[in-house]
Amino acid sequence: MNSHELCKKKAKELVAQMTLEEKASQLTYNSPAIKRLGIPAYNWWNEALHGVARAGTATSFPQAIGLAAIFDEEFLREVADTIAEEGRAKYNESSKHEDRDIYKGLTFWSPNVNIFRDPRWGRGHETYGEDPFLSARLGVAFIKGLQGEGEVLKAAACAKHFAVHSGPEDLRHEFNAEVSLKDLWETYLPAFEACVKEGKVESVMGAYNRTNGEPCCGSYFLLRDILRNKWGFDGHVVSDCWAIKDFHMHHMVTSTPQESAALAIDAGCDLNCGNTYLLLLQALQEGLITEEHITRAAERLFTTRFKLGLFEGSEYDQIPYEVVECKEHIELAIEAARKSAVLLKNDGILPIDKTKVKTIGVIGPNANSRRALKGNYYGTSSRYITVLEGIQDEAGDEVRILYSKGCELVKDRTEPLAYSHDRLMEAVTVAEHSDIVVLCLGLDETIEGEEMDEGNNVGSGDKKDLELPEVQRKLLEKIVAVGKPTILCLLAGSAINLSYAQEHCNGILMAWYPGARGGKAIADILFGKTSPSGKLPITFYASLDNLPPFTDYSMKNRTYRYIEEKPLYPFGYGLTYGDVICTGAVLEEPIKLNQDIKIKVSVKNRGKVATEDVVQVYIKDEESRYAVRNTSLCGFKRIHLNAGEEKEFHMMIPFESLKVVNDEGERILDSNKFTLYIGVSGADERSVELTKKEPVILPLILNCAK
């Protein structure tokens, strides 16, 4: 009997000793103790998107979208393992002191593998971007790192939000996401399927919205037909928080809380983040459910607790508190921030040569902002290093640093009694007296985030458009007008229209929300201590003009796979201080049906600087009418090359990448002719324009399609 089956057996035996009332009491997120059975209280609610969140001190990594920009499965797995290590250390201390509060358990409601299909979505920065293949690979890596490979789970991961969920935030409690079977299986489900089948994720969280008429947390199609029956999921399902009450209050698919609770548990939702399941016993009395429903859910939940070793102990019980924010973990977080930053433009201004610069002006609302480092769902850091502080530390006594906030993120004045744009003159003055300007603009969680989340003062959390706030646009224009070399450093979690900056700034660095010490990583890049190497996991559009309405879940003209016009910056794009180019690619052996494809790629760094870069492989089906409009990512590999170095790398392309999804949602092999595009950016026209590099083309011919 494997460990999972053994834990199921133990859970079944333990639950059999409980009264009906005791079993029902365990099905909400704040499960009370059952002292007569030696069961301590347990709070299931915890978060770990980019570090242990909301429970005090923890190492702060870049927000998930920044981790995605690294394009490195093994590195993300290491990050997740580190997060689990700290989670265990904190849990060990909390349980020692009988502290069973929220955010102190080992069930982390991460990762978020929803598709970032629309740049307006406020929670997009919690995801791994817009591509289902990238999201799947990174989601699996994060889960494996978080859960570990031992007999006992190091922590329990949760793939969320299942499924077809990506805004609008202000409609999520009542919204019905209508999606075709093709888009469902081609775009919205692959990451979840990989998390379940390959990642063996312990938990899945349902979404707030309805999908094709069914509330996701009570969807027989999603939770029973697909998740359990088709994919063989054997963990537990948790609702999004207070989502079940939406059934009767907003979706209007039930009439009473009892009916909502009955629908959810019957469909297969085991744990209620909320309080609707407190009415399960009433639902039972009304004949809406049976005791077996309650028993089944309790057994699934206690299986997870046994798998975590919460009753019998494990090797992880000895992890000391000293690992929390230790030197090694902090260094890993800084390295993640370095790897995640995406260089969007560089006319030669970067890296900054300290021997040739006397004064640097650091300007902007995000220059000295701790909040802009954090993203959302963050822990507390013992030290923060803002962009300003990072530059000051790196410049030392050699270079004078001048600073001006310039403006607030959104408000038109920094002091309530002042005139509007009260810091603009100071910012201009700083620019005039500087040799180079680093202009730090962007957003933070008060502008983009979850609906009514902590710190979100905009309300819905979604963006209304792709533009920087007006006060920041004015600041950008005024600083550019001074005429000094200007580097735009953008701290944000989503695509922003940078057309003006692309035309007028000398350099642009997308730093995301880089974590607590992100300012050091940014300074390391600006001054050339490390080469930038991140790649965009999302498309940067020039405007919203050609995008479908936010509420339209069709993929037409969305993301790099279906876009019909040139983007401002394409998916997969990012510059370095080196000059890496793919010089060739060959098949290593003949293609065989249902076997991964082996290719060998030759890569050279023609530049004078050592750098990391990301080899990317895109596939185009040349025959099938069901193929995506453009190309699809099917492989990636982060590499390191010294100046002038040339290497060969082996890559595996999943055979599944050759298949398409038809109108019935079936994944089929429907073509004999494919083209692989291999390079360090996308295969699109805009990527070639920006990088001045053509991808290597490798035709694939099959003789096995139906």
Distances, alpha carbon 684 to alpha carbons 75, 368, 603, 633, in Å: 27, 37, 19, 12
Chain center to CA of 174 = 24
Structure tokens at 99: 């502290």
Structure tokens at 85: 């290590």
Give the largest CA-CA distance in the chain: 80
d(CA 111, CA 128): 9
d(CA 342, CA 387): 15
For residue 377, count other CB atoms closer than 10 A to its CB: 25
Name the phi and psi angles at 473, rounded to 5.
Answer: -60, -40
AA letter at 432: E
For residue 245, count other CB atoms closer than 10 A to its CB: 19
DSSP assignments along 553-603, one per residue: ---TT-HHHH--S--SB-TT--B-SS-EEEEEEEESS---TTSPEEEEEEE
Helix-strand-coil split of the chain, %, nearest 5: 35, 20, 50
AA letter at 73: E
Structure tokens at 496: 């922003």
Kindly tell me the burial class for residue 237, based on how many C-beta atoms sit within 10 Å of its own C-beta (0-12, 13-18, 19 or more). Answer: buried
d(CA 454, CA 459): 10
Determine the Cα angle at 290 with ends 287 and 292, to 5°.
175
Structure tokens at 358: 């006397």
What is the DSSP-derived secondary structure letter of residue 228? I
d(CA 262, CA 268): 10
Q: Does an H or E element contain 160, and which?
A: strand 158-162
Where do runs of H (alpha helix) occur along 621-660?
Answer: none
Q: Please identify which of the residues 240, 613, 670, 684 carries the catalytic annotation.
A: 240
How does 508-520 read in b/e, with b if 16+ C-beta sit within 10 Å?
Answer: bbbbbbbbbbbbb
For residue 382, count other CB atoms closer than 10 A to its CB: 12
Question: Is 240 known to be catalytic?
Answer: yes
Helix (H, G, I), strand (E, B) or coil at 297: helix
Name the phi and psi angles at 616, rounded to 5.
Answer: -120, 140
Tell which residue, 239, 144, 145, has the closest CA to residue 200. Answer: 144
Which residues form the catalytic set?
240
